[in-house]
Amino acid sequence: MNRLLFIDDDTDFLEIMTLFFEQNGYVVDTAATPEAGLRKVQTNRPDLIILDVMMPTDFEGFQLARDIREKLELTTLPIIILSCIHDRKQVPYRFAPDKDYLPVDVFLDKPVNPETLLEKIKSLLGELREQPSQYL
């Protein structure tokens, strides 16, 4: 079973995501602070990270993504940023994955449909495969 790590300071969100993804066959671990998340990345070695941006400062999640890539040297670990920063901060631009500034695989806006997030996770973990063609 694949292990997911959700790093977000919204405990209600963490509970909902834990229930949904455990029901879909994943092992789910959570962290409510960037520091706890970094420790869990090191000790639990998740297969994929879902990370918030604004916790507790406005852009802390961006730094955490860079720390995971650079300090921990986990350059192939899939990271999804899931944030409402575009709505809350009303920035005139959109954040997107970038290997230097925002080294993540996917950036999604909150709120997100859990099914949409599930499909992104399956895709990043290589769980989505074409079904064999039926030959008549």
From the CB of residue 89, how many other CB atoms can be counted at a distance below 10 Å? 14
Q: Does residue 135 fall inside a structural domain?
A: no
- Mapping DSSP to helix (H, G, I), strand (E, B) and coil, where does residue 40 land? helix
For residue 100, the model assigns a pLDDT of 58
- As for how many domains the chain has, the answer is 1
Ranges of beta strands (E only) in the chain are 3-7, 27-31, 48-51, 79-83, 106-109
Q: Does residue 132 fall inside a structural domain?
A: no
For residue 107, the model assigns a pLDDT of 84
Per-residue pLDDT 10s for the chain (136 aa) are: 899 999 999 999 999 999 999 999 999 999 999 999 999 999 999 999 999 987 776 678 888 998 999 899 998 999 999 875 545 445 554 545 556 556 788 888 888 899 999 999 999 998 755 544 444 4
DSSP tag of 134? P
Task: Give the C-alpha distances (Å, rounded to integers) separating 61 from 91, 122, 130.
Answer: 16, 22, 34
For residue 55, the model assigns a pLDDT of 72
Q: Does residue 133 fall inside a structural domain?
A: no
Range of the domain at 63: 3-124
Q: Does residue 130 fall inside a structural domain?
A: no
Strand order in the sheet with 3-7: 27-31, 3-7, 48-51, 79-83, 106-109
Q: Does residue 134 fall inside a structural domain?
A: no
Q: Does residue 78 fall inside a structural domain?
A: yes
Burial 96-130 (b: 16+ CB within 10 A, else e): eeeeeebbbbbbeebebeeeebbebbeebeeeeee
Q: Does residue 99 fall inside a structural domain?
A: yes
Q: Does residue 131 fall inside a structural domain?
A: no
User: What CATH code is carried by the domain that includes residue 62?
Assistant: 3.40.50.2300
Measured distance CA(55)–CA(45) in Å, rounded: 22
For residue 110, the model assigns a pLDDT of 83
